[in-house]
Amino acid sequence: MKPRNRKSNVPSTKKNKKNQGHDDFFESAAKRRRKAALDEAIESDDSDEDVFGGGGERENAEDADEEVEETADEKRVRLATEHLERIRAIAKKIEEEEEEEEGEGDDGRERKRDSLVAEILQKDQLEESGRVRRLLSSRVVEPQPEDRFQVLIKHLQPVTAVCLSEDESRGFSASKDGLIMHWDVETGKKEKYLWPSEEVLISHYAKVREKPSEKRSKHVLTLAVSSDGRYLASGGLDRHVHLWDVRSKEHIQAFHGHRGPVSCLTFRQGTSQLFSGSYDRTIKLWNADDRTHIDNLFGHQSEILTIDCLRKERLLTAGRDRTMRLWKVPEESQLIFRAPSASLECSCFINDSEFMSGSDDGSIELWSMMRKKPTHIVKNAHPSTINQDIPLENGIKEAPQENGKDKNGLTCSAAQSWVSSVAVCRGSDLAASGAGNGTVRLWALEPESRGIHPLHNFPLDGFVNALAFAKSGRFLLAGVGQEPRLGRWGRNRTARNGVAIHPIRLKEEK
């Protein structure tokens, strides 16, 4: 591995602008504190002004200034305070329910409420860090006839990427025609990201094309959204990593440096660190806040297909060299895991030491960083026809068909049985896999990657090129297309290009 190569795509004058705004920050913070105290004192007067229209423009201007001037630290404090208030409300509700059964004094109730708050916060922290796994698979209820995949967003071309915001309210999708959409999960209301002109792209540090007569490709292969919801990153055939402002839907930066298509992107959770993988066999680390290139990672001997990252500075990548690699970025080291028999098509973290992958021979593998070989393998995970639950006349269940064969033994597209996408509900034992065989499968993971067993099959026509779980486990998103994400070696003309959503019903936690 080569030493760190630090570069910047932004002139040094940007740092001077930050220093110039240093004094304004403290002045605006003091002004906000004075305004908060004033609002609390004259709350009734403000309500009268709202009714009669007085002071509306002034308040809107001040609110807009506050929204712009809120720093990352202030936002973290605000979100932490809101989360603590929600936890206290939950603890108070539990306390009120228990008060009906037994009576306690005020001091006893206060101590009990504090202990409940501490217990809930500790549990949330352990689940968030991955040290405790949420047991969701045992709470999944059998799907009802009305529970099925429904198309939420339509695309003209096959969808190549889908991702969710941290609060599960907003989703993002991209397709082969370069269309990037931002939509509301509940209502389906959507907005498009408009690509800027060539002059604007160059002003945002995009590399000038070698042949000006040729158009720049807008074919998007991957998306990633930051944990704070500020940045959306996209990558594709133009060999650039494009950074977008989620609030304004505008293009703000183009990172160049890759010599091949950018095939995968991921943000490190809780930070603005962005990792990109490419067909040029390299991984690059960027900082979205500073708009800088930080580091390069080398090791793969062929195209990199997928990348994933949690809170630690550890990366998981899979490539066409039939290897999956766990990168420890600060130590500049890597662990190599070799696929037993086929090329790995997708991979993702289960937790910091366990991961899951899918192969082009139709198998799913579970891995542990303590072993170089898979701890468990499910062969033929996505046969061309999944009919294990359909009994024959003599009472014997029909066996699943081999990959590349339909139920009559006729050859079909082998690409339809490839495991093209896998996803794990963060911090839980619930996983999903997708292929082109018309089914998304839900899986239950056993502790320490000792095994995996199927839960339910969700019918979905088309190539499932991307999967995304809601953090709560309440729904699953699938990016579907008539063609695979990275090529055109298979085609399903009956499929609909778009994003589909499937509800997951969970039993109440005991």
Task: Return d(Cα 46, Cα 351) in angstroms, integer.
Answer: 49
pLDDT at position 96:
66
Provide CB contacts within 8 A for 252, sequence distance 6+: 204, 243, 244, 245
The CA–CA distances, whole Å, from 503 to 2, 143, 144 equal 46, 9, 10
Provide CB contacts within 8 A for 278, sequence distance 6+: 235, 239, 258, 259, 260, 261, 262, 263, 284, 303, 304
| Residue 167 pLDDT > 70 | yes
Q: What is the dihedral of CA 72, 74, 79, 80, to 10 degrees?
A: 110
Task: Return d(Cα 233, Cα 252) in angstroms, integer.
Answer: 10
Strand, coil or helix: 118: helix
Confidence band for 120, pLDDT divided at 50, 70 and 90 = low
Amino acid at 327: W
| Residue 412 pLDDT > 70 | no
pLDDT at position 85:
76
Of the two residues 359 and 416, the one the predictor is more confident about is 359
Q: Which among 233, 236, 265, 262 is positioned nearest to 246, based on CA atoms?
A: 233
Portion of the chain with pLDDT greater than 70, in percent: 70
Task: Return d(Cα 424, Cα 168) in angstroms, integer.
Answer: 15
| Residue 395 pLDDT > 60 | no
The CA–CA distances, whole Å, from 319 to 255, 263, 348, 377 equal 22, 10, 13, 19
| Residue 355 pLDDT > 80 | yes
Assigned token pair, 164: 């969710």
Strand, coil or helix: 375: coil
| Range with top average pLDDT, 1-15, 103-117, 287-301 | 287-301
- The pLDDT mean for the chain works out to 79
Other Cβ atoms less than 10 A from the Cβ of 225: the count is 23
| DSSP assignment string, 63-75 | HHHHHHH--HHHH
Going through 369-418 in order, the beta strands assigned E by DSSP cover: 376-378
Other Cβ atoms less than 10 A from the Cβ of 66: the count is 15
| Residue 6 pLDDT > 80 | no
Provide CB contacts within 8 A for 18, sequence distance 6+: none
Assigned token pair, 172: 């993002």
* Residue with token string 């082969």: 176
Strand, coil or helix: 162: strand
Of 149-158, 398-407, 430-439, the poorest mean pLDDT is in: 398-407
Other Cβ atoms less than 10 A from the Cβ of 480: the count is 27
Of 231-240, 370-379, 387-396, the poorest mean pLDDT is in: 387-396
At 31-40, the pLDDT tens digits run 444 444 444 4
Provide CB contacts within 8 A for 218, sequence distance 6+: 177, 178, 195, 236, 238
Q: Which among 404, 481, 455, 491 is positioned nearest to 151, based on CA atoms?
A: 481
At 438-466, the pLDDT tens digits run 899 999 998 776 789 999 999 999 999 99
